[in-house]
A and B are shown apart, each in its own frame.
Chain A
C-alpha cells in the first residue's frame, strides 16, 4: 500500500491506468457539477433569506432555452463518459489472440486454478508479467465472481456458463483477489493471491512444481476414449460425427446456416447440450453429458480438443466452414 490511507489500489495491469483515468475524468465532471449546485444553493440560502414574515419571492419566468441547455450539456458530457467507458469495456471483453489460458473453477468457498500444463493451485494463481492472461471461469455450484482490484477487472463465474476475462499484468508482486458475488456463508473467505512473476521465474516455478501433476491433454485423451467419443468423432472425418482435428478456434458451419467460432464455450455447450448447435451435414445423434462430467473433466476434454489443433484436418467431415479467415 502506498500510504496510510490510499484512495486507489495499486496499478498492476494494463487496465488499471485506463480505469483510473476514466475514474478521474468522471470524478472531475461530477465534482464540477456537484460543487456548482452546492455553491448555488448555499449562496441563495443566505442571500435570499426571508426578510419579513410575509415576504414572497420574485417570480422568474420559465425559460425553455435554459431548460434545453441543462439537458443538452449533461447529455453531451454523459455521452463522453459512455463512449470512453465503452472503449475500455469492449477492449476488456474482446480477448486478444495468443493468450496464456488458465482455467479457474469457483466452488463454495474456494478457488481452483489450473495452469496450461495441468498444474493445479488452490486460492493461488501464478502468472507471468507482460503476457496476456486469459482466465476461463466456471462454477460448480452458485454464482461467484473473480475480482482482482489491482488489475481493475472482475467477471462473474456462472454455473452452466463459461465466462472469460483477460488482463496483462504489468508489475510483479502479490495481489489480493476476491469473490465479489455473494455466494453464501464463507463468501468473505473465498479469496486468495495472484502472484505476478518475471517470465523466467514463472517458467522455473512451473517446471519446478509441475512434477506429479496430470497433464490435462493426457487426461482429456483418456476421457475421450473412456466416454466413447472416439467412436463417432473419427479423426479422418469418416465417422458419424465431425472430426475434431483443427476445430478449435475455427469457424463452424451449422445446420441452420449460421457460423460460430469454436471456442471453449461452444465446445462445452456441444458436450453438455449437443443438440443446441448441429454442425451442417450431421444428424443430432450425440447424447448429452450434462451431469456426467465434472467441470475439471470438461476442462480436460477441451484441453485435449485444443491439442488437436495441430493435427491434420481431413478434407471432408470436419464441419469447418469454408475459410474466411481464422480468428
Chain B
C-alpha cells in the first residue's frame, strides 16, 4: 500500500450504517439519509445490471453461428430490446448520479444532506415502481421494439408488452427529473462556507451539468413515450402515418432527450475520472476551469445535435449539414478533458492503485469511443455505417467502456468511504486489466463488422461475418469474468476487508475529512474550506512530503 503502515484500525463507533431510527429494514426503507438512499440505488441498479448482463450474454452466445445458436427470432429481438431498456434506463442513467452523486455531493460540498431529502427518497421509490412496470413487461410477453421504440413498429405493429414498458420508463423519468432537481438546488444553496464555485470538486461540476440534462431532457422523452403509449392503447395517430401522423416527429422528440441522455451517462463518469486522476497522480488537476467548463459545454451543445441519429431518414440536407457541424463541435470539449487528464499525469507521483488502473482504462476506451463518434458524425461516412455494428461498437465503447468503467473505478475509489473497508489490491488490479482486455476483444471486432456492412439487431447473418462474431463472443466471456470478479471481492470486503481509515489514498476532497463510513450528519461540525481543489502541497493534514518527489529508486510493489 502507498499509505503509511499503521496498526490495526477500527471502524468508527457510530456511523450511518449502524445508526438506527427504527428497526432493521424499516430504517432503510424510510430513510432520508442521502448515503443510505445511495446504497438503496446501488442495490437496485445492480439488479438491473445483472438482468441486462445475462441478456447480453445470451445475445453473444446466440450470435456464435450465422444461423443463430440459441433462440428464435422473436426471442432474440426481445433479448436485445430488454438488454437495452434495462441497461440504459435502469442502469446507466441512474448508476453514477444516483449512487455516487447521492452519496458524495453533500459530503463533497460540506452539507449535511441534499436540499430535499424526502424528495430524494421519493425518487428512489419512483425508480422502483417504474422498474416494476418494466419487469412486468419483461415477464409477460417481453418487449421486441428495440429500446428506441420507433413508431409505428412500437405503437401499431408490435405484439409484445409495449404499454407497461413505456409506462415504466415514463414513471422512471420522474425519478431522474427529481434527482437532477435535487442536485442543482443542493449545489446552489448547500455549499459549506468557503466552498466557492471554483473550489468545487470536478465531480460536482460534472453532476451539475448532468442534472441540467436530466431536468431539461427527461420531461420531453416522458411525454413522447406517453403519447406513443396512448397511441398504442387508443389507436390514435400522433406518429402513425396510416392515421395522418408522422413517425419522423417521434424520432425528433425521442432523440431530443435520448442523445443528451448519453451525456447523462458519460458526464458523471468523466467526473469520477477527474477525481481519481489528480488523487493518484497526487498533484492539482491540469486545467481545472477548462474541465469544469467543458462539462457545461457538453451539456449545452449536447442538446443541439440530436438529429445526427437521422441522417438517412430523408431529413433535409441543410438540417443534416447543421447537425453534423454541431456534432463535431461537441467533440471538442471531450477532447479538452482527455488532454487535460493526460497532462495531469506529467511529472505526477503516479501510484498504481486500483482506481488509477480503472481510470486509465477509462481514458483508453473513451478515446476510442469518442473518436469513432467522429466517423459517425461525418455525413458521407454515416450513409454507410449508420445502423450497422459500427454504431453498436461505438456506443458500447462510450457507455460500457466509458460509463461503466467510470462506475467501477468510482466504486474502487470510494468503496473505503462507503463501507469503511479496503478490498484486495492485487486482485482488483488484475480485474481491471481483465475488464480492459475483455472489453476490447468484445467490441473492437464489431467496428470491422459494421464497416463490412453487418446491420445491427440481426438474429442471423451471412457466414462471412462469423469469424468476427466468434471473436466478439469470446471477448464477452472474458468481459463477464471482469465484472464478476469485482462483484465478488467487493462483497467479500464488506465484512473481511482491512479497515480503511478516514483517508486511505489520501485524497483532498471534503468527503475524506470525515469518518469512513461517515456519520449520519456527515460532519461533526460544518467544515470551512480554506484550500484550493486538488492541492496536495498546502495540506499538512494529509501527511505527505511537500516539494519535489525524492529521486530514490522505485520501491517494490507490496
Which A residues form the contact surface with B (CB < 8 A)?
1, 4-9, 15, 18-19, 22-23, 26-27, 29-30, 33-34, 37-38, 40-41, 44-45, 48-60, 62, 66-67, 70-71, 74-75, 78-79, 81-82, 84-90, 92-94, 108, 141-143, 145, 147, 149-150, 152-156, 158-161, 163, 176, 178-189, 290-291
* Known A50-B349, A89-B317, A185-B144; contact A161-B545, beta-carbon cutoff 8 A: no
Which of B153, B352, B543 meets A182, CB within 8 Å?
B153
Chain B, Cβ-Cβ closest to A93: B317
Q: How far is the CA of A70 from the CA of B348 in the complex (A)?
A: 21
* Known A30-B371, A33-B371, A82-B325; contact A154-B312, beta-carbon cutoff 8 A: yes
Chain A residues with Cβ below 8 Å from B379 are 82, 85-86, 88-89
Q: How far is the CA of A56 from the CA of B372 in the complex (A)?
A: 36
Chain A residues with Cβ below 8 Å from B549 are 50-52, 55-58
13 A-B residue pairs with Cβ-Cβ distance under 8 Å, sorted by A, are: A7-B451, A37-B363, A45-B360, A50-B2, A55-B549, A60-B347, A62-B289, A85-B380, A87-B380, A150-B453, A155-B314, A184-B153, A184-B157
Stretch at the interface among B91-99, B162-170, B383-391: B383-391
- Do B74 and A163 have beta carbons less than 8 Å apart? no
- Do B338 and A37 have beta carbons less than 8 Å apart? yes
* Known A19-B381, A143-B150; contact A54-B347, beta-carbon cutoff 8 A: no
- Do A58 and B347 have beta carbons less than 8 Å apart? yes
The 6 closest A-B pairs by CB, nearest first: A149-B453, A88-B380, A160-B241, A57-B283, A89-B379, A85-B378
Chain B residues with Cβ below 8 Å from A93 are 317, 320
Known: A9-B453, A70-B336, A142-B152. 6 other contacts (CB 8 A): A9-B452, A49-B351, A51-B552, A57-B350, A82-B377, A152-B383
- Do B378 and A57 have beta carbons less than 8 Å apart? no
Min Cβ gap A143→B in Å is 6
- Do A41 and B455 have beta carbons less than 8 Å apart? no
Interface residue B364 (Cβ < 8 Å from any Cβ of A):
yes
- Do B372 and A30 have beta carbons less than 8 Å apart? yes
- Do A178 and B455 have beta carbons less than 8 Å apart? yes
Min Cβ gap A73→B in Å is 9
- Do B550 and A52 have beta carbons less than 8 Å apart? yes
* Known A74-B335, A159-B241, A159-B242; contact A187-B458, beta-carbon cutoff 8 A: yes
Chain A, Cβ-Cβ closest to B545: A54
Which of B340, B345, B388, B451 meets A40, CB within 8 Å?
B345
Q: How far is the CA of A78 from the CA of B332 in the complex (A)?
A: 9
* Known A70-B339, A160-B241, A176-B462; contact A34-B387, beta-carbon cutoff 8 A: no
* Known A54-B543, A55-B549, A85-B324; contact A189-B383, beta-carbon cutoff 8 A: no
Chain B, Cβ-Cβ closest to A75: B332
Min Cβ gap A55→B in Å is 4
Interface residue B311 (Cβ < 8 Å from any Cβ of A):
yes
Interface residue B77 (Cβ < 8 Å from any Cβ of A):
yes
- Do A143 and B247 have beta carbons less than 8 Å apart? yes
Chain B residues with Cβ below 8 Å from A145 are 312, 387, 455
- Do A161 and B314 have beta carbons less than 8 Å apart? yes
Min Cβ gap B311→A in Å is 7
Min Cβ gap B251→A in Å is 9
Min Cβ gap A62→B in Å is 6
Chain B residues with Cβ below 8 Å from A180 are 386-388, 455-456
B320-348 interface bits toward A, Cβ cutoff 8 Å, 1 = contact, 0 = none: 11001100110110011011101101111
What is the total of A-B residue contacts with beta carbons within 8 Å? 311
Q: How far is the CA of A7 from the CA of B453 in the complex (A)?
A: 10
- Do A78 and B374 have beta carbons less than 8 Å apart? yes
Chain B residues with Cβ below 8 Å from A15 are 383
Which of A19, A62, A153 meets B287, CB within 8 Å?
A62
- Do A53 and B4 have beta carbons less than 8 Å apart? yes
- Do B550 and A67 have beta carbons less than 8 Å apart? no
Min Cβ gap A18→B in Å is 7
Chain A residues with Cβ below 8 Å from B157 are 108, 141-142, 184
Q: How far is the CA of A8 from the CA of B492 in the complex (A)?
A: 47
Min Cβ gap A144→B in Å is 10
* Most chain B beta-carbon neighbours within 10 Å: one of A57, A85, A93, A291: A57
Q: How far is the CA of A56 from the CA of B144 in the complex (A)?
A: 54
Interface residue B548 (Cβ < 8 Å from any Cβ of A):
yes
Interface residue B32 (Cβ < 8 Å from any Cβ of A):
no
Chain A residues with Cβ below 8 Å from B350 are 44-45, 48-50, 57
- Do A184 and B349 have beta carbons less than 8 Å apart? no
Chain A residues with Cβ below 8 Å from B374 are 26, 29-30, 78, 81
Interface residue B30 (Cβ < 8 Å from any Cβ of A):
no
* Known A51-B549, A51-B554; contact A62-B375, beta-carbon cutoff 8 A: no
Chain A, Cβ-Cβ closest to B154: A142
Chain B residues with Cβ below 8 Å from A9 are 451-453
Interface residue B282 (Cβ < 8 Å from any Cβ of A):
yes
B506-546 interface bits toward A, Cβ cutoff 8 Å, 1 = contact, 0 = none: 00000000000000000000000000000011000001111
- Do A56 and B349 have beta carbons less than 8 Å apart? yes
Chain B residues with Cβ below 8 Å from A150 are 453
Residues 456-472 of B contacting A (Cβ, < 8 Å): 456-462, 464, 467-468
- Do A159 and B152 have beta carbons less than 8 Å apart? yes
Min Cβ gap B157→A in Å is 5
Chain A residues with Cβ below 8 Å from B325 are 82
Q: How far is the CA of A244 from the CA of B452 in the complex (A)?
A: 45
Interface residue B119 (Cβ < 8 Å from any Cβ of A):
no
Chain B residues with Cβ below 8 Å from A27 are 375
Chain A, Cβ-Cβ closest to B244: A290
Chain A, Cβ-Cβ closest to B371: A30
* Most chain A beta-carbon neighbours within 10 Å: one of B2, B386, B451, B554: B451
Min Cβ gap B152→A in Å is 6
Interface residue B227 (Cβ < 8 Å from any Cβ of A):
no
Chain A residues with Cβ below 8 Å from B312 are 145, 154-156
Residues 390-443 of B contacting A (Cβ, < 8 Å): none
Which of B247, B349, B552 meets A48, CB within 8 Å?
B349
- Do B328 and A187 have beta carbons less than 8 Å apart? no
Residues 361-377 of B contacting A (Cβ, < 8 Å): 363-364, 367-368, 371-372, 374-375, 377
Chain A residues with Cβ below 8 Å from B263 are none
* Known A41-B345, A155-B312; contact A22-B371, beta-carbon cutoff 8 A: no
- Do B286 and A22 have beta carbons less than 8 Å apart? no
Min Cβ gap B336→A in Å is 6
Q: How far is the CA of A44 from the CA of B377 in the complex (A)?
A: 32
- Do B550 and A55 have beta carbons less than 8 Å apart? yes
Which of B146, B282, B451 meets A57, CB within 8 Å?
B282
Chain B residues with Cβ below 8 Å from A57 are 281-283, 347-350, 536, 549
- Do A49 and B352 have beta carbons less than 8 Å apart? yes
Which of A19, A33, A176 meets B384, CB within 8 Å?
A19
- Do B554 and A149 have beta carbons less than 8 Å apart? no
Chain A residues with Cβ below 8 Å from B555 are 51-53
Min Cβ gap A145→B in Å is 6
Chain B residues with Cβ below 8 Å from A50 are 2, 282, 349-352, 549
Chain A, Cβ-Cβ closest to B388: A180
Interface residue B20 (Cβ < 8 Å from any Cβ of A):
no
- Do B342 and A74 have beta carbons less than 8 Å apart? no
Min Cβ gap B305→A in Å is 13
Min Cβ gap B51→A in Å is 21
Q: How far is the CA of A54 from the CA of B351 in the complex (A)?
A: 11
- Do B380 and A18 have beta carbons less than 8 Å apart? yes
Interface residue B193 (Cβ < 8 Å from any Cβ of A):
no
Interface residue B313 (Cβ < 8 Å from any Cβ of A):
yes
